[in-house]
Structure 1
């Protein structure tokens, strides 16, 4: 895989000067139709980077069997239409120049800014991966992981406990989740018939109303029940106060190291946005393809025709 040093801000300045503006326009247009687009694109970037690196492989849905997106760990990941629209517009300007992986990274940055979060410069120069398999997603962080497992999965990607808190609990300042992911916390915690005792009594009745025991597992609720429509540090304050929704967020207060990070941002709120941006940049460097590695896919949903023919001939 390529070195992060081969990424650079403004990689397309000469080759495709309007690339980033084109992605931003696609994100803004999508937000008009779907106000949830910001957390959707943020999650898409996270899921792409944590499986085989930030290579756009999660976008590959045709021409392969058991595509990466079919993995259970990617359940509910969306945003492909926004990336496809941006890619098509860029290809009309600069064919074969801008990777799908870079478009995902730029779109996530623009989505965060659109939700009131920090603006930051995205390093670009990634090339697209050619492989897509559900089996590759087995080390994806999941909602039921212990804090020990989450730490290990982040360490494997060169990320710290602070990055874990920022990119997991902190990123949940915006967006929604399905009741499927919280039902055990409410009705069968640790195999019992009771709720998670760390859930604040002030929050529990509301969660039970939004996700009744006999309700649809696909009903959705805000990840941040206090200021869920705005990008801020509230999701970390929620963890401290027993007001977090997902189990993978609440357990960040069970470990001394991650607890100290949560406590820090709960007090020093001004540092959250800046440090979140730094963590996003750091995540965007995970196992990237650069130089002559990978390819620049013509269409994000499939590898380029010549490589696809090679794969088919090898079967």
Structure 2
């Protein structure tokens, strides 16, 4: 009995130690991380982004997408920003990113501004997190305290980008599995999908829904016919596939909850969008209904889910580095 109690106590202590380790890992990110070393970091990021928005209204959505695509591949470590080199196969050339991700020049401008103010302090991974928050708040969405202290990776993972980033063609089951694999739940999945309330998508990412859905020779039955007709004007069957359509046809440049109202009205642009509402029996349906009728609930959930996503496997402490140029590893 005594040995059994000792074994049980050991298991209990081990569980406590593991819990403390997890909490400690997450606690290394802090909203006050740069308060003494670069107190104007957030203001500098917002200023560069505000200037960029004057000539490119899409840039906010593009920067959120960079943060999302970064975090889903080995964590939020700035790996998506690395160019090809002798030792690196860039994630920019992975299927989900090639000819699609954009905004790298704005990230470089933010990095330059930060290096001028506080050299060697703010990581590229944290720039993506700060830029995502500023993108949302500047276009009408919620604000939140970004947790900071990430460091930059020394390598990229192109194969991981090809396999880990959710695709607009995937089933809800597959996408849910990819979110679960990085510690995000169903509410996070629906809330983060709400980032499609602004920005654009290329025709090649949804044209199958207009003309030949799942090889049937017919359009996707979950796509409203009037909306489909409008999209066919933008995306003719013989087109190149690189024209763009608004992800939200109602308020395309504002961050609001109309994305969810669109889903209820069968006006989700991407297959992965509409499946949140049109998959029979899916747990996502009730969440979509809540967010479509309550923008405050969506904003609160979105802010928390962005924090949750930003916590995916960050490099902290002495891991990685603070890149001086987001496109390349220091000394390369």
The alignment of Structure 1 onto Structure 2 pairs a total of residues equal to 305
1:103-114 alignment to 2 at 5 Å? 103-114=127-138
Aligned partner of 1:140 in structure 2 is 165
Aligned partner of 1:313 in structure 2 is none
Aligned partner of 1:34 in structure 2 is 56
Aligned partner of 1:207 in structure 2 is 231
| 2:46 match: secondary structure | helix
* Distance in 2, Cα, partners of 1:165 & 1:270: 15
Aligned counterpart in structure 2 of residue 80 of structure 1, from 95, 104, 112: 104
For residue 65 of structure 1, report the CA deviation from its aligned partner: 3.9
Q: Over aligned residue pairs, what C-alpha RMSD do you find?
A: 1.4
Aligned counterpart in structure 2 of residue 275 of structure 1, from 301, 304, 314: 301
Q: 1:75-104: per-residue Cα shift (whole Å, max 9, x none)?
A: 311111111111112112222111000011
Q: Does residue 151 of the first structure (1) align with residue 176 of the second (2)?
A: yes
| 1:124 match: secondary structure | coil
Aligned partner of 1:126 in structure 2 is 150
Q: 1:26-72: per-residue Cα shift (whole Å, max 9, x none)?
A: 11111112111111111111111111111000000043442111101
Q: Is the 8 A contact 2:81 2:92 kept in 1?
A: yes
Aligned partner of 1:67 in structure 2 is 90
* Distance in 2, Cα, partners of 1:130 & 1:18: 26
1:185-204 alignment to 2 at 5 Å? 185-204=209-228
Q: Does residue 302 of the first structure (1) align with residue 328 of the second (2)?
A: yes
Q: Does residue 24 of the first structure (1) align with residue 46 of the second (2)?
A: yes
* Distance in 1, Cα, partners of 2:259 & 2:248: 6
1:93-112 alignment to 2 at 5 Å? 93-112=117-136
Q: Does residue 261 of the first structure (1) align with residue 284 of the second (2)?
A: no
For residue 282 of structure 1, report the CA deviation from its aligned partner: 0.8
| 1:300 match: secondary structure | coil
* Distance in 1, Cα, partners of 2:208 & 2:290: 29
* Distance in 2, Cα, partners of 1:231 & 1:97: 31
Aligned counterpart in structure 1 of residue 192 of structure 2, from 140, 158, 167: 167
**Which structure is larger by alpha-carbon Rg, 1 or 2?**
2
* Distance in 2, Cα, partners of 1:34 & 1:151: 32
Q: 1:137-189: per-residue Cα shift (whole Å, max 9, x none)?
A: 11111111110000000001111111111112x11000000000111111111
1:236-251 alignment to 2 at 5 Å? 236-251=260-275
| 1:177 match: secondary structure | strand
For residue 251 of structure 1, report the CA deviation from its aligned partner: 0.9
* Distance in 1, Cα, partners of 2:212 & 2:320: 45
* Distance in 2, Cα, partners of 1:52 & 1:240: 34
Q: Is the 8 A contact 2:45 2:130 kept in 1?
A: yes
* Distance in 2, Cα, partners of 1:205 & 1:28: 35
Q: 1:245-286: per-residue Cα shift (whole Å, max 9, x none)?
A: 100101112152011111121222321112111111111111
* Distance in 2, Cα, partners of 1:301 & 1:224: 31
Q: Does residue 7 of the first structure (1) align with residue 25 of the second (2)?
A: no
Aligned partner of 2:71 in structure 1 is 49
| 1:293 match: secondary structure | coil
TM-score scaled to structure 2, two decimals? 0.89
Q: Does residue 183 of the first structure (1) align with residue 207 of the second (2)?
A: yes
